[in-house]
């Protein structure tokens, strides 16, 4: 795994671990001001609106175990990268098979921020 992939995956996994324990602040710290966000129920623009959306679920998300599968990081010029992966999240008897896209951009101070995030559910057999 290259340096870029390592750097991006480290950020993503830290945010995801917090999310899986009811804490949205990892993702909120990564979201850039102009973040665009898609999930099966919402399409949201702007970090302020994401704060409102995630505050409503703070302390309510508990994922007992997960598998992050086949992450791919593609560089986009010097200052950006796109990460895509599958994520199987499990809690009790349920599981959710996610597709995820995270578009990262490097800010002038060198930190990475997420400009776009798209979550969707894989069609399950049957």
- Residues lying near a copy of itself in the complex (CB under 8 A): 34, 36, 38, 40-41, 43, 45, 70, 72, 74, 76-80, 82, 84, 86, 99, 101, 103, 105-106, 115-116, 118, 120-123
Task: For CA atoms 9, 95, 123, 126, give the dihedral sign.
Answer: positive
Closer residue to a copy of itself (CB): 63 or 73: 73
Buried residues in 49-71 as b, exposed as e (16+ CB within 10 A)? ebeeebeeeeeebebeebebeeb
Closer residue to a copy of itself (CB): 23 or 80: 80
Closer residue to a copy of itself (CB): 64 or 76: 76
Q: Minimum distance between the CB of residue 119 and a copy of itself, rounded to whole angstroms?
A: 8
Q: Minimum distance between the CB of residue 47 and a copy of itself, rounded to whole angstroms?
A: 13
Q: Minimum distance between the CB of residue 50 and a copy of itself, rounded to whole angstroms?
A: 14
Closer residue to a copy of itself (CB): 26 or 71: 71
Residue position matching structure tokens 């086949």? 70
CB hemisphere CA count around 102 (13 angstroms): 25
d(C-alpha 85, C-alpha 92), whole Å: 23
């Amino acid at each position: 795994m290259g340096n870029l992939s390592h750097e991006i995956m480290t950020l993503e996994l830290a945010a995801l671990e917090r999310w899986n324990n009811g804490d949205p602040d990892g993702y909120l710290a990564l979201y850039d001001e102009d973040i665009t966000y898609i999930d099966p129920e919402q399409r949201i623009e702007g970090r302020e609106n994401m704060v409102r959306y995630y505050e409503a679920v703070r302390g309510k998300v508990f994922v007992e175990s997960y598998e992050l599968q086949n992450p791919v990081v593609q560089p986009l010029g010097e200052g950006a990268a796109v990460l895509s992966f599958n994520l199987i999240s499990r809690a009790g008897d349920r599981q959710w098979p996610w597709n995820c896209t995270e578009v990262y951009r490097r800010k002038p101070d060198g930190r990475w921020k997420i400009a776009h995030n798209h979550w969707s559910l894989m069609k399950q057999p049957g």
